Amino acid sequence: MKTLIRPVLVLFVLMTVITGVIYPVVVTAIGHAAFARQAGGSLIEKNGKPVGSALIGQHFDAPYYFWGRLSATSPMPYNPQNSGGSNLGPTNPALADEIKGRIDALKAAGTDMSKPVPVDLVTSSGSGLDPEISPAAAAYQIARVAQARGLMADQVANLVASNTSGRQFGIFGEARVNVLKLNLALDDLKPMH
């Protein structure tokens, strides 16, 4: 029995060092060398200070900002430690209540409700952390944001257009607007605080 314990312990220590120390260090070093921005969290900076990540949404509910998708994380919105969808089906009353609550919030903020509300403004994404909305969801909010900031709707529409990213490699996914970047551009155009 003693002759078996020593090789098992040596193998255990060796595999622990290889898979628990060497491998993570090598992969981290390669990640930082080849993809420095992404490995650092894809941070967005303003005046040299990080204000958020391009990959994780932030909560905006002031009428003078564009609003992103709802967050399914709790107890606080856009918490990456609780990432995951709400798993509420289309017939679930809780989903209907969530959608009604967001529509009421849009109305209360002064959004023109004469057009159909884009679905990504009233539902959460699969991760609950989505930092982007569709160009249609951004366009839906232009009048409210322009009025709240005292800007011309054309100015805000041009800002939305300049912050719209196309499909990945021209074929994958859909066009999208990063809400944090758009709101930072709005603050550069006309600060509200």
Cα-based angle 117, 177, 139 (whole degrees, multiple of 5): 40
Each domain of the chain, given as residue ranges in start order, spans: 1-40, 42-189
Q: CA–CA separation, 134 vs 112, rounded Å? A: 18
The letter for the amino acid at 135 is P
Q: CA–CA separation, 23 vs 40, rounded Å? A: 19
**Report field, pTM of the whole predicted structure over 0.85:** no
The residue written with tokens 């409210």 in the block is 144
pLDDT tens digits along 105-147: 888 887 888 888 898 888 887 777 888 999 999 999 999 999 9
